[in-house]
Structure 1
Amino acid sequence: MTAQVEELPTGAEVMQHLVESAGAAHQPATDMADLAEVIRTLLAVEARRDTRVRLGGNLFDVVITSSGFQARGAVALMDEIQGGCGPVIEDPESGWFYWLVPPGSSARWAPHTHAVCLGAPHTITLPSLNRTAPPLPYWFRPSASDRLVPVEPLRQALAQLRPEPTPHAALAAQLGITT
């Protein structure tokens, strides 16, 4: 009597069967494109290239103020509060500071006479990590992976020091907002 040997599927065939039987779960998650964009962005910044990022999501929002004398005083105050201020970008051409704050801050930001907070769908160009001096936008306080600028202490510092000129009118013009 001859035993008939059943042919076993190959490893590739088993994997293909598992993928096909998984149904909708094998489809990429809807937020995977966002994750891929975030990873590409962070790799570009780490590779010392300027890169444009969307605000909001899981990264950060941004508070915009002037970068004048009073705003520099707010950085010094945040240095004391945080033991070193979180990330701040200075754009010498516009005369603005961009304070990187926790994501979702723009949704909770109450109007402020000396600052504007923006989140999604706006974008910002992050300077390369090695740019720490003008003339182009640069890291006035370098980005550290473990901190952002806390919103409430920043609001209080800005209310106390009142950096001028305020960014409201210039931002409205840049964003095409009319009143």
Structure 2
Amino acid sequence: MSASANTTLVVTTAAELADHLIRADDPSWEIAPDMEDLTEALRTLLGVDANQNTRVRLGGTLFDVVVTSSGPQARAAVAYMDEVQGGCGPVIEDTRDGLFYWLVPPGTSGRWMPHTHAVCLGAPHKITLPSLTSTAPPSATGPYWFRPSTSSRLVPAAPLWEALAQLRPEPTPHATFADRFGVAS
């Protein structure tokens, strides 16, 4: 028996166990550049499947996010998008910061025109998705699904931009994001 066979393996997630098993089979194993997105997607799905909050990278093939306040005007924008879409696409409310995160198609951040009441973020930023079972405001502050994610439907960017321009949700997220993340409006 080798010395490594006598050591205790400690893993805390299914993703760590999968990584260990792959590396144990071939210690020189590395993620191929074209498979990194797939690996991250699988780790994300494992977290979602376990009903955990899951951190994901924006952009790629998943989605970008448009960030607004979650005040009355933003809630009116959700009602408007309910009409446009026959039920608004996924929106996360973070009660700690008073923000909405609208999940929009990937690549939107590259096409998003500057907006006085919203910020659009894509790669390389990340977002923590609440557990799929978090569909009501938490007892403490934090994120939950204001409009749950269903299938592959996202919020369409053009109607959202127009709704936010008309409804003008306040306060704007620009100063918060500039201070916290170094994101320019």
> Same fold by TM (over 0.5)?
yes
State the Cα deviation string for residues 73-121 of structure 1 (Å, max 9, x = none): 0000000000000000000010000000000000011100000000000
Q: Which moved more, 1:41-50 or 1:153-162?
A: 41-50
Could you tell me the percent identity over the aligned residues? 72
Q: Distance in 2 between matches of 1:110 and 1:177?
A: 15
Aligned equivalent of 1:119: 122
CA contact (8 A) 2:174 2:184 kept: no
Aligned equivalent of 2:5: none
Are the structure 2 counterparts of residues 150 and 54 from structure 1 closer, same or farther at C-alpha, using a change threshold of 3 Å? same
Aligned equivalent of 1:168: 174
Of 129, 147, 161 in structure 2, the residue corresponding to residue 155 of structure 1 is 161
Letter in 2 for 1:87: P
Of 84, 100, 103 in structure 2, the residue corresponding to residue 100 of structure 1 is 103
Of 76, 81, 98 in structure 1, the residue corresponding to residue 79 of structure 2 is 76
Q: Distance in 2 between matches of 1:44 and 1:60?
A: 17
Q: Distance in 2 between matches of 1:82 and 1:49?
A: 28
Q: Distance in 1 between matches of 2:155 and 2:52?
A: 23
Of 50, 54, 58 in structure 2, the residue corresponding to residue 51 of structure 1 is 54
Aligned equivalent of 1:18: none
Aligned equivalent of 2:39: 36
1:137 Cα offset (Å): 0.5
1:33 Cα offset (Å): 1.7
Please give the TM-score of this superposition, normalised by the length of structure 1. 0.81
Of 56, 60, 64 in structure 1, the residue corresponding to residue 63 of structure 2 is 60
CA contact (8 A) 2:94 2:100 kept: yes
Of 121, 138, 141 in structure 1, the residue corresponding to residue 144 of structure 2 is 138
1:128 Cα offset (Å): 0.2
Letter in 1 for 2:104: V
State the Cα deviation string for residues 131-155 of structure 1 (Å, max 9, x = none): 0112320000000123000000000
Q: Distance in 2 between matches of 1:137 and 1:28?
A: 32
Are the structure 2 counterparts of residues 177 and 97 from structure 1 closer, same or farther at C-alpha, using a change threshold of 3 Å? closer
